[in-house]
Amino acid sequence: MNEFIVTTLDTVPSLLNATIDLIEESFHYDSENKFIVDFAPLVNEDNLKNLYILTDNQKRKVYAHSGIVFRNLQNNISDTTIPMAMLGGIAVSKNMRGRGLSKIILNHIFEKFSKQLVFFFLWSDLIDLYKKFGFHLAIGQSEFSLVEYFKKNSHSHSHSHSHSHFHSHSIVYSLEHSLYKDLSNDDKDQIKLLYNKLIASKFTTFARGEKEWQLIEKITSSDLFTLRSKATPTQISGYYFINKGQDLKNIIHEIAISKEHQSQIYSLIFEKNPKAKIWQPEIEHDHSSVEKKYMALIKIANQKIFSNFVYHWSKEEINITKINSFVHFTYNNKTYSETCENFLTCLLGPNPLSEWQPFGNPIFISGLDSI
């Protein structure tokens, strides 16, 4: 395998287009969508240093790629910061598959960065493949269909509503469609405040600075809808993002709405797009149309940092003593051993252990941030 070298695209930016072509071919992209748009947080000028490719010694061709984005999850309950990395755009040239090329790149990344992280995250249907690299399905996510929601809550929905307005206590609400990049600065500030108030403060998720919001502006494949009242049209009461190119069609992957406005926005969404499904953190809903799913594949990066994370996340109640194919730990003065997958599920969901649920807000990664 010494015919190949691992390098990053900042050293050979001339291979960026070839890398994007490789990824889009591997992911079966159609001509209407662009990976570089859908996954702007991964593929951008500032992150070229984290886009790893396998090339030949002359650096003429791209045979494989895996990109990485570093973020910190914030848990407000235990005041815990969770350093983690997301992997994305993992692809191998069609005529080179089956030769272990993705293994070369991934092992290079794991060796280089594991010492500083709690987790690696990735999203893929190739579950059995990534289990060989130490990834496990974990973290709960709720999905519900508005069709099913209104079937089971038919008394709360009236088909007399117009396609764009909803009357509530004499207040007329409407949904306005736009792209985030096209909002006024004042509207963008309102979206940021709603994200912080209704998402970041309630869930274990990413803090977004100006850099992250600027990258979201580039995701023009995701549609933004804002909830406004006719009385105060400049005030945004809630919002949601739906679609993301070829990746999340008809999926509402980020929604910021208060309980006060929940029925209004659900009704308006249903009128506009009855096929829409909503992805939210694993939380208790007041309706029965929710399906609980796994959110991602995750890999423990550094055992010591992971053990320290669990100790603080659990308010010093879970003490990990050893990790091999099992996680060995003490809890309530008793010793336990669980497989890594079972331990992660008990801790983070889906359906986390009931006595462990108060430890931390559910983890949530929006489709705007995931890669």
Choosing from 293, 323, 338, the residue where a domain stops is: 293
Residues 90, 187, single domain; the answer is no
The two tokens of residue 194 are: 């709603």
pTM for this prediction:
0.91
Tell me the C-alpha distance between 310 and 305, whole Å.
9
**Is 221 within a domain?**
yes
Q: What confidence tens digit (pLDDT) does each residue in 116-136 have?
A: 999 999 999 999 999 999 999
Interval 237-266 mean pLDDT: 92
pLDDT of residue 263: 82
> What does the pLDDT look like over 241-252, one tens digit per residue?
999 998 899 999
Whether residue 43 sits in one domain with residue 128: yes
Determine, yes or no, domain membership for 361. Answer: no
Task: Supply φ then ψ for residue 145, to 5 degrees.
Answer: -90, 135
Count of structural domains, the chain: 2
Alpha-carbon distance of 109 to 69, in angstroms, equals 11
**Helix, strand or coil, per DSSP, at residue 257:** coil
Cβ contact 65:19 at 8 Å: yes
Which residue is associated with the tokens 């990664």?
365
For 198, the domain range is: 142-293
pLDDT tens for 162-187 read 345 555 555 788 999 999 999 999 99
Q: How is residue 35 written in tokens?
A: 């990976």
Boundary residue ending a domain (293, 314, 329): 293
Question: Predicted confidence band at 78 (pLDDT cuts at 50, 70, 90)?
Answer: low
Tell whether the model's pLDDT for residue 290 goes beyond 90: no
> Per-residue confidence at 160, pLDDT binned at 50, 70, 90?
very low
CATH number at residue 199: 3.40.630
Whether residue 291 is predicted with pLDDT greater than 90 in this model: the reply is no
In a domain, 188, yes or no: yes
Q: What angle do CA 183, 169, 157 make, to 5 degrees?
A: 85
Give me the CATH number covering residue 331.
Answer: 3.40.630.30
Banded model confidence at residue 154, pLDDT cuts 50, 70, 90: low
pLDDT of residue 177: 97
Do both 317 and 263 map to the same domain?
no
Please identify, among 293, 311, 336, the residue that sits at the C-terminal boundary of a domain: 293
Per-residue pLDDT at 286 exceeds 60: no
Residue 159: band (very low, low, confident or very high) from pLDDT cuts 50, 70, 90:
very low
Per-residue pLDDT for 288 more than 90?
no
The answer to whether residue 363 sits within a structural domain is no
Residue 283 has pLDDT above 80, yes or no: no
Instruction: Kindly tell me if the per-residue pLDDT of 158 is higher than 60.
Output: no
**Cβ neighbours of residue 13 closer than 8 Å, sequence gap 6 or more:** 48
pLDDT band at residue 285 using 50, 70 and 90 as cut-offs? low
